[in-house]
Amino acid sequence: MVKLHLIHVQVTDKHEGENLGHYPLQEGDVVIADRGYNQPKYLVELVGKGIGVVVRYNPQGMNVYDSEQRKIDLYDSLMDTPENSRCIPVRIRKENDYIEGYIHAIRLPPEQTEQARRRLRANAKKEGYTPSDRALFLAGFDSGYFSAFNVRVLIEKSIRAFIASGRQPHNQPLEERLAEPPEPPKDADPVTAMQHRMKTEAGKKFYAKRKSTVEPVFGIIKEVMGFRRFMLRGLEAVKGEWTLVCMAFNLKRLCVLCT
């Protein structure tokens, strides 16, 4: 059963854009934000208040620095790396203050890289400019959760990691799909051990549960139920409207489960 709560809605005019300062966050909260929130001022303030932040990095939207306060060029950092993933320690500055964090960059498979570059060229053509070689190169990377660093951190917190380290091949023979993988070496590093765990039957079943997370729920609410915008104004009114939407979804789900 879906159980969601709308915490805050703020409507602004054309003079004020999106920023994390709009939200009533408190210590212990974790914020997941898209590229539009690459704003050092608010990131530094939130982390200083004990709020965790995961934001999709936009090299054109925010500068990052190394431990000696030198600006990091993401293109130079990734240009010669042979690895499929890279974890780069960075600092984000706000005047004389800063926070420490990491950029996780994952190299896309060739076909996805080409698709990303085609989209970049198409968008650039609409806006009347030609994308640079640097931009086309960076389009071949994506922000992701897989890195050796992330796996180690989870192990230190006694959390079993199930993180995809790449795209799964399609149209595998049935024997390969059903076969149990060979045992990893006894001295396997954390990443190798996790990749083996993901290939086992139990690991595949566990990882498949991601299909029933909140994303399909939002998809059904938007595409099947047709709810794409709020009709009311004011926080309390919108909370009530969203509660009705969730009730409708739950009733729909109950009907399916009980018939």
- The mean per-residue pLDDT over the stretch 59-83 comes to 87
pLDDT tens, residue by residue, 162-188:
776 655 655 677 777 778 888 888 888
The residues spanned by each domain of the chain are 18-102, 213-259
For the chain, percent of residues with pLDDT exceeding 70: 91
pLDDT tens, residue by residue, 93-102:
998 899 999 9
Residue with tokens 């200083």, as numbered in its chain: 48
Q: Is the pLDDT of residue 64 over 90?
A: yes
* Nearest-angstrom CA–CA distance, 166 and 157: 24
**Whether pTM exceeds 0.75:** no
- The mean per-residue pLDDT over the stretch 11-18 comes to 75
Write the DSSP symbol of residue 65. Answer: B
Tokens (6 digits) for 254: 């109950």
Q: At what angle do helices 190-199 and 148-156 cross, to 10 degrees?
A: 90
User: Which candidate, 157, 149, 148, 145, places its Cα nearest to that of 192?
Assistant: 148
Phi, psi of 161 (to 5 degrees): -85, 135
String of DSSP letters for 211-224: GGSHHHHHHIIIII
Mean pLDDT of the chain: 83
If DSSP codes are grouped into helix, strand and coil, which group holds residue 31? strand
According to DSSP, the β-strands at 141-143 and 97-107 are antiparallel
* Nearest-angstrom CA–CA distance, 63 and 165: 27
pLDDT of residue 5: 67
**pLDDT confidence of 198, banded at 50, 70, 90?**
confident
Write the DSSP symbol of residue 71. Answer: B
What residue ranges in 128-212 does DSSP mark as E strands?
Answer: 141-143
Write the DSSP symbol of residue 47. Answer: H
Residue 204 buriedness (CB in 10 A; 0-12 / 13-18 / 19+): middle
**pLDDT confidence of 67, banded at 50, 70, 90?**
very high
Phi, psi of 148 (to 5 degrees): -60, -35
pLDDT tens, residue by residue, 217-234:
888 998 899 998 888 888
pLDDT of residue 192: 82
pLDDT tens, residue by residue, 113-164:
888 899 889 888 888 888 888 888 988 887 556 666 677 777 887 888 777 6
pLDDT of residue 139: 85
User: Which candidate, 183, 205, 209, places its Cα nearest to that of 196?
Assistant: 183
**pLDDT confidence of 213, banded at 50, 70, 90?**
confident
**pLDDT confidence of 1, banded at 50, 70, 90?**
very low
Q: Which helix (H) or strand (E) holds 53?
A: strand 52-55
Q: Is the pLDDT of residue 208 over 80?
A: no
pLDDT of residue 232: 85
String of DSSP letters for 83-143: SSEEEEEEEEEETTEEEEEEEEEEEPPHHHHHHHHHHHHHHHHHHT----HHHHHHTTEEE
Contact between 61 and 84 under an 8 Å Cβ cutoff? The reply is no
